[in-house]
């Protein structure tokens, strides 16, 4: 079974703090993704990575950055957290064979910024 784990299920931070969300997958997948999920808006892609040290902006990259130093690990960084970044963050991975790939999701991190 593919397993995608996220470092925290719940996180509370203060405005202006630097926040790190970590994601690890154990299936040697090439692709990894960070989404933001908000009620009524569905999932929106923040960033994705198709290889180590490679990254591509998604639909809503503003205010976020990412790091992929190892194949199995993909980090989402909020340089200076703001209240409008309060959300559920979902990490996913996929094999990297193309558009028919299944994406495998972690359980999510619910981030609250006060």
Partner 1 sequence: AQSVTQLGSHVSVSEGALVLLRCNYSSSVPPYLFWYVQYPNQGLQLLLKYTTGATLVKGINGFEAEFKKSETSFHLTKPSAHMSDAAEYFCAVSEGYSTLTFGKGTMLLVSP
Q: Mask of contacts with partner 1, 32-51, x by CB under 8 A?
A: -x------xxxxxx--x-x-
In the list 75, 85, 87, 94, the residue contacting partner 1 (rule: CB under 8 A) is 94
The nearest distance, CB 9 to partner 1, in angstroms, is 8
Opening angle at CA 112, ends 81 and 38, nearest 5:
95
Q: Does 76 bind partner 1 (CB under 8 A)?
A: no
* Helix, strand, coil percent content, the chain, rounded in steps of 5: 5, 55, 40
The closest of 114, 103, 109 to 89, measured between CA atoms, is 109
Task: Work out how close the CB of 20 gets to partner 1 at its nearest, in angstroms, rounded to a whole number.
Answer: 19
**Residue 2 contacts residue 26 (beta carbons within 8 Å):** yes
Whether 66 contacts 74, CB under 8 Å: yes
Q: Is residue 103 within the footprint of partner 1 (CB under 8 A)?
A: yes
50 versus 73: smaller Cβ distance to partner 1: 50
Footprint of partner 1 on this chain (CB under 8 A)?
Answer: 4, 31, 33, 40-45, 48, 50, 58, 90, 92, 94, 96, 98-103, 105-108
């Amino acid at each position: 079974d593919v397993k995608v784990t996220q470092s925290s299920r719940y996180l509370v931070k203060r405005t202006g703090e630097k926040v790190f969300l970590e994601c690890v997958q154990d299936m040697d997948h090439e692709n990894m993704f960070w989404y933001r999920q908000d009620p009524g808006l569905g999932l929106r892609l923040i960033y994705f990575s198709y290889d180590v040290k490679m990254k591509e902006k998604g639909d809503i990259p503003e205010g976020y950055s990412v790091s992929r130093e190892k194949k199995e690990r993909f980090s989402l960084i909020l340089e200076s957290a703001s209240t409008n970044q309060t959300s559920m963050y979902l990490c996913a991975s996929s094999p990297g064979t193309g558009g028919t790939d299944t994406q495998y999701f972690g359980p999510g991190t619910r981030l609250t910024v006060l």
